[in-house]
C-alpha cells in the first residue's frame, strides 16, 4: 500500500488525469511505470498518487505551472500521450488545479487548523 504524496506547504499544483482504458492495453503498464519514474526526475515534481480499477486516476503534484508545461513538452511524455490517445484510452480527462490548502494525518504536520472539513 502506498502513502499519499508528501507535498510541501501550499500553494502548489495538481494535475489530475482520469482515464478509462480501451481493449488494447499491451505495453500500457510498462509505459505508465516509465512515465512515473521519468516525471519524478523532472524539476518541480513533488509527488504522485495513482489508482486504477475500471476508472484510473493519477494525480501528480508540481511546484508551478512552468514545471507542468516542461513535463507536457518532454519528448518521451509526448510519445506516451500519443500512444494513449491512439491506442490505450477509451476516454480521458485532464485537469490542472492550484492547491490552496491541504491537511490530514498523512501529510507533513503544519501549524494551522482547517476552517472546515
pLDDT tens readout for residues 9-20: 999 999 999 999
Number of other residues whose CB lies within 10 A of the CB of residue 113: 6
Q: Are strands 45-52 and 56-62 parallel, antiparallel or unpaired?
A: antiparallel
Are residues 8 and 110 in contact, defined by beta-carbon separation less than 8 angstroms? no
Q: Residue 10's closest CA among 105, 102, 90?
A: 102
How does pLDDT run across 65-78, given as a tens digit for each residue?
999 999 999 999 99
| Model confidence, pTM | 0.89
Domains and CATH numbers, the chain: 12-99 (3.30.70.100)
User: So what's the pLDDT on residue 117?
Assistant: 58
Amino acid at each position: 500500500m502506498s502513502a499519499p504524496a508528501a507535498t510541501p506547504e501550499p500553494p502548489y499544483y495538481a494535475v489530475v488525469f482520469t482515464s478509462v482504458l480501451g481493449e488494447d492495453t499491451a505495453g500500457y503498464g510498462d509505459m505508465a511505470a516509465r512515465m512515473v519514474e521519468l516525471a519524478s526526475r523532472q524539476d518541480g515534481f513533488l509527488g504522485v498518487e495513482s489508482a486504477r480499477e475500471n476508472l484510473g486516476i493519477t494525480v501528480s503534484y508540481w511546484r508551478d505551472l512552468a514545471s507542468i508545461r516542461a513535463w507536457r513538452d518532454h519528448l518521451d511524455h509526448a510519445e506516451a500521450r500519443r500512444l494513449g490517445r491512439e491506442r490505450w484510452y477509451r476516454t480521458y480527462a485532464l485537469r490542472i488545479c492550484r492547491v490552496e490548502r491541504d491537511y490530514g494525518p498523512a501529510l507533513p504536520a503544519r501549524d494551522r487548523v482547517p476552517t472546515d472539513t
